[in-house]
Chains A and B, each alone.
Chain A
Amino acid sequence: MAVTDARPIVTRRFGLDDGHTLERYVATGGYEGLKAALGKTPDQVQEEVKAASLLGRGGAGFPAGVKWGFCPPGVWSRYLVVNGDESEPGTYKDRLLMERDPHQLIEGVLIASYAIGAAQAFLYIRGEMALAQERVAQALNEAYEAGYIGKNILGSDYSIDVVLHWGAGAYIVGEETALIESLEGNRGMPRLKPPYFPAAKGLYMQPTVVNNVETLSNLPWILANGATQFGELGAESARGTRMFAVSGHVKNPGVYEVEFGVTTFRDLIYAPVYGGGIRGDRKLKAFIPGGASAPWFYEEHLDLPLEPGAVGQAGSMLGSGAVVVMDETTDAVKAAWRLVRFFARESCGKCTPCREGTSWLEKILRRILDGQGRPEDVDLLMDVSDNISPGLSWPPRQTTICPLGQSATPPIASAVYRFREEFERYIGAPVEVTVPVKGRTYIPVTAEAAGV
């Protein structure tokens, strides 16, 4: 058990009602990280972030400092794009960071842009997040007035505009090249990599760094307190803290900032300060450790630390920090169907395996649930999945431009490997014909009585 008393980093102002205002932000140590950064050279700032080994908090978990270093030298202009398009099912942290502490994010944007030499920054917020857009707009306006953004920031020779931009409802735009397409005013379809690695050919075909909201929100603290102090938190391979949204069948669903790599899933789900155990003290059936795309975990995985390496070795991922808990009453077939339907709906339609595969999988699962499943359907599900992601291995193999298509396969593989009998029960059950009577009240009729 490792429920540590480490003080929170990115959520430390969440208890304040006015933590989103400039006044409160500055009064609680805000913009000190930016001042510290401006006292260093851009290279020194990059080194500091590299030394902190801050892993990207978006999903892929790539070290932020290293990612910055991929911009080809001597090619200008460069851009920083903030990925605030949080939409992975179960994921709920970036929205809170934008609503409750927008200045922290802005400060992080300013530090990152200074370090990489970005000439303009774009803050892309998911379309459905109206309050986040309002809070960030307000914060940007205040910060411009106060001289933290714009021309000659805090009297230095560092100048940059931060432009607020928002989306209009498309999960795929969370993929960085799709985000760039969207920011250019196009349909949010991912670009082929290579050659379109954002660091080399990103926004307007210029070097571009795309960073997640939580990643950037860590920078002010790192610059103000130093990489060494940051490194004291968490495990060797995963420093600092991380926000996890624990949802589903737990007693206390919530977003918790915990020490990275030290805390375990058991802590997160059962510790009284976090999830508090399963509702009604029922048994755990399965849990999703890192968002809808992650293979499910079960009872035997509870003691794994929240550390990308350990979770990866066990066959899943920490992904976006979304832990969805399913108790013993959960219908595994239905859960798999709902997750797959998400990917089928959100497929952008560019690559055949994803466009055709995800919607085919969804249809098969739907007919199984409706009692119309065929005996060969379970194998067919696995076969279609295998065509989208050959071998159904972990990490998954990809037949498409972006990882969306293959993301539909882990829920199916997880449910079929572990709960195959539930699928077979649906398929083997006698067909029930239902007759709508009034509104949505259905009276089940046996096939015999209906004369079918």
Chain B
Amino acid sequence: MARFSEANLKTATEIISRYPRPKSALIPLLHLAQEQDGYVAEDAMEHIAELVGVTPAEVLGTCSFYEMFKREPVGKYLINVCTNISCMLLGGEELLHHLEDRLGIKAGSTTPDGMFTLEDVECIAACTEAPCLQVNYRYQYKVTPEDADQLLEDLRAGRRAHEVPEHGTLARVRQHIPADRRAGNAIPGQCEEPVWITRAAASEGGEA
């Protein structure tokens, strides 16, 4: 597995069709690849390159810039602990160290059973709920060491499956544009003045 499955290929085609230029779909497609395999595999990048008409190196170039794309398998649950200023002031580092102790790994690595990857991350926009963390990008607020222990236990036992999907799945709701409601892509160089602008200008001119 690594190239897109048939169902994902359909989704990929739909995503590409929404952009005036196919390369714009690169990041959403990399997310789709990560959703399929849990990480971005090399074959997936080659497939994406074919789909959007660039070289695999260009896909890698984009992929490697962004922190969320993992090019090697990570744990089923990616735990991102914020240690930036607001969280640091209220115990973010201590929380990270607590999780390192509990999991027996350093931040940046994965437990041997492939269950958890722990990361020390930058601000995740929950500053008033410090210290906070995300599990596969789902928030946990004002986390005490006890909360963290409970969280690990729940995740191991599969009790959070309804709120926390496996690593790779981001939004569980996708945008769908109904064919009869589509306005269409604005392809550069092929567009004229929008009709409502022309109409408004004409009526203003008429009034004057």
Asked if A168 contacts B31 (CB within 8 A), the reply is yes
Tier of interface size on chain A = 35 or more
Q: How many whole Å from B115's CB to the nearest CB in chain A?
A: 19
- Residue of B83, B181, B184 most packed against chain A (CB within 10 A): B181
Q: Which of A182-190, A308-316, A351-359, A380-388 contacts B (4 or more CB under 8 A)?
A: A182-190
> Considering the complex, which residues of chain B in the window 15-36 have a beta carbon less than 8 Å from any beta carbon of chain A?
18-21, 23-28, 30-31
Interfacial chain B residues near A43, Cβ < 8 Å: 200, 204
* C-alpha spacing A414/B184, complex, angstroms: 51
Known: A90-B86, A161-B18. A168 touches B177 (CB 8 A): no
A86 and B123 alpha carbons, distance in the complex (Å) = 10
10 nearest A-B residue pairs (beta carbon): A119-B186, A185-B26, A168-B66, A169-B67, A77-B191, A150-B181, A133-B171, A185-B23, A247-B127, A253-B128
Query: Looking at the complex, which of B2-10, B130-138, B147-155 is the stretch in contact with chain A?
Result: B130-138
A164-B175 contact given A187-B65, A254-B128, A440-B97, CB 8 Å threshold:
yes
Known contacts A92-B125, A117-B197, A130-B170; decide if A167 and B27 are in contact (CB<8 Å).
Answer: yes
Contact with A along B84-128 (1 / 0, CB 8 A): 111011100000010011000000000000000000001111111
- Residues from chain B with a CB closer than 8 A to the CB of A126 are 125
> What residues of chain A lie closer than 8 Å to B80, measured between beta carbons?
128
B-contact 0/1 string along A343-384, CB 8 Å cutoff: 001101000000000000000000000000000000000000
| 28 A-B contacts (beta carbon < 8 Å) | A43-B200, A77-B191, A89-B122, A91-B127, A117-B196, A120-B183, A128-B68, A128-B125, A130-B138, A138-B173, A141-B175, A150-B182, A161-B182, A167-B66, A168-B68, A171-B122, A185-B21, A185-B25, A185-B54, A185-B62, A204-B20, A248-B127, A324-B89, A324-B127, A335-B88, A338-B88, A345-B122, A348-B65
Given known pairs A41-B204, A91-B123, A440-B97, the reply for A129 and B137 (CB within 8 Å) is yes
In the complex with contacts A117-B194, A440-B101, A87-B173 CB distance below 8 A:
no
Mark contacts of A181-217 with chain B using CB atoms, 8 A cut-off: 1 yes-contact digit, 0 otherwise: 0111111100000000000000011100000000000
Judge whether B192 is part of the interface by a CB distance below 8 angstroms.
yes
Chain A contacts to B: CB under 8 angstroms? 41-43, 74, 76-77, 79, 86-92, 94-95, 114, 117-120, 126-131, 133-134, 137-138, 140-141, 144-145, 147, 149-151, 156-161, 163-171, 182-188, 204-206, 245-249, 253-255, 288, 292, 322, 324, 326, 330, 334-335, 338-339, 342, 345-346, 348, 439-440
In the assembled complex, B178 has its CB within 8 A of some CB on chain A: yes
Once bound together, how far apart are the Cα atoms of A170 and B30, in whole Å?
A: 15
Nearest A residue to B63 via CB reads: A168
From B138, B176, B192, B199, give the contact of A76 (CB < 8 A).
B192
* A336 nearest in chain B by CB position: B85
Considering only CB atoms, which chain A residue lies closest to B137 in the complex?
A130
List of B residues within 8 angstroms of A130 by Cβ: 136-138, 170-171
Q: Which residues of B contact A342 (CB under 8 A)?
A: 84-85, 122-123
Are the C-beta atoms of B176 and A141 separated by less than 8 Å? yes
Bitwise, B135-176 to A at CB < 8 A (1) or not (0) is 011110000000000000000000000000000001111111
Q: Judging by beta carbons under 8 Å apart, are B128 and A246 in contact?
A: yes
Chain B residues near A134: list those with CB within 8 A. Answer: 171-173
